[in-house]
Amino acid sequence: MSKPRVGLIGIGAMGRGVAANLLDKGFAVSGFDVRPEACEWLLEQGGQVAADLPSLASDCRTIISFVVNDAQTEDVLFGDKGLVGCMQPGTVFVACSTMPVDYVSRLGDRLAALGIHLLDAPVTGGAAGAAKGSLTIMAAGERAVFDLVHPVLQTFGGRIFFVGDKPGAGAQLKILNQHLCGVHLAAAGEALALAQRQGLPLDIALEVLSSGSAFSWMLGDRGPRMAHEDFGQVTSAVNIFVKDLGLVLDTARQAGFSAPLASAAFNAFVSVSGQGMGAWDDSAVMCFYDRHPGTAELPKPPPKTH
């Protein structure tokens, strides 16, 4: 039995790894991306490129979206020449973007009214995880829909969790995931900048702190970049956490929930971004704590005005 054709919207850093894994495991892939070079890449890999979204909708009963956010998702579905109106009833739309919980919940209802199933399925693991097919997927929706697309999810997911039977639970968990990632990352910056201020060698500090109860995945991953002030090799940008911790704080406010740690971490990222480092690697959050860690150079005194 040949495997079904899968639609893939958004062939960026994440989508490319997903496409490669789908093709590698025998699925036919119809892709769509507004960037011609992304489409060319997919053709070279042996995929097909849809002429437009309506033709992708008519070809595929499973459509995976790796666009950036809720605005792009809205456009892909309901925009001019979008998917809606051309998808066959029973189609599953797998939304893998990080989006606000209330948007995802409402989207589930809006698509259900059209006979379309939404699987709320955000991921973590980054471009490296997408390439290796080892992403963590947090899926919420009807159980039967989850079971139906499980073979597709398995091509790019290393850990696949069914987290709830209503769209929105996946978005909630992704936002909690970003809460902890953002706080741990800012905490690593705070601790290592303080170590540096005290004159401790950062390589030793990092080794000791990573060896026991102070360990976090973020300290292990981003700590070496902080220790070497290697902020130019961008794996994920400061501005991603400005966006994601913003979603965390929106979620908390809507729940009447005070989140002082998330708030403190958000302030660190937004300050670094506002000082011109938004496109730097997110390990540059360390610069919030010390303007230029690693130098003993003091700022010049302000000019005299009279």
Interacting positions 195-234 with a second copy (CB under 8 A): 195, 197-198, 200, 204-205, 207-209, 211-219, 221
Closer to a second copy by Cβ: residue 27 or 103: 103
Interacting positions 264-283 with a second copy (CB under 8 A): 264-265, 267-268
Q: Among residues 170, 168, 216, 157, which one has the least CA distance to residue 189?
A: 216
Question: Cα separations (Å) of 93 from 74, 87, 224, 296?
Answer: 12, 10, 39, 54
Q: What are phi and psi of 7, to 5 degrees?
A: -90, 140
| Binding residues with a second copy: total (CB under 8 A) | 64
Please pick, from the candidates 84, 86, 237, 261, the single residue that binds a second copy as defined by CB under 8 A.
261
How many other β-carbons are positioned within 10 Å of the β-carbon of residue 142? 17
Interacting positions 145-184 with a second copy (CB under 8 A): 159, 161, 163-164, 169, 172-173, 176-181, 183-184
DSSP 138-164: EEES-HHHHHHHHHHHHHHEEEEEEEE
d(CA 131, CA 124): 12
Q: Are 158 and 135 in contact (CB under 8 A)?
A: yes
Q: Are 97 and 123 in contact (CB under 8 A)?
A: no
Q: Interface with a second copy by CB under 8 A: which range of 28-36, 43-51, 145-153, 190-198?
A: 190-198
Q: Interface with a second copy by CB under 8 A: which range of 45-53, 79-87, 227-235, 250-258?
A: 250-258
Q: Among residues 107, 132, 113, 8, which one has the least CA distance to residue 63?
A: 8
d(CA 38, CA 20): 13
Task: Tell me how far, at minimum, the Cβ of 25 lies from a second copy, in Å.
Answer: 22
Please pick, from the candidates 260, 276, 299, 301, the single residue that binds a second copy as defined by CB under 8 A.
260
What residues form DSSP beta bridges with 164?
Answer: 140
Set 3, 25, 166, 174: catalytic member: 174
Q: Is 174 a catalytic residue?
A: yes
Q: Interface with a second copy by CB under 8 A: which range of 18-26, 28-36, 74-82, 121-129?
A: 121-129
Question: Cα separations (Å) of 176 from 122, 146, 251, 276?
Answer: 12, 22, 10, 27
Q: Interface with a second copy by CB under 8 A: which range of 42-50, 59-67, 106-114, 254-262?
A: 254-262
- Catalytic residue ranges: 174
Interface with a second copy by CB under 8 A: which residues?
101, 124-126, 136, 138, 159, 161, 163-164, 169, 172-173, 176-181, 183-184, 186-188, 190-191, 193-195, 197-198, 200, 204-205, 207-209, 211-219, 221, 251-252, 255-265, 267-268, 289-290
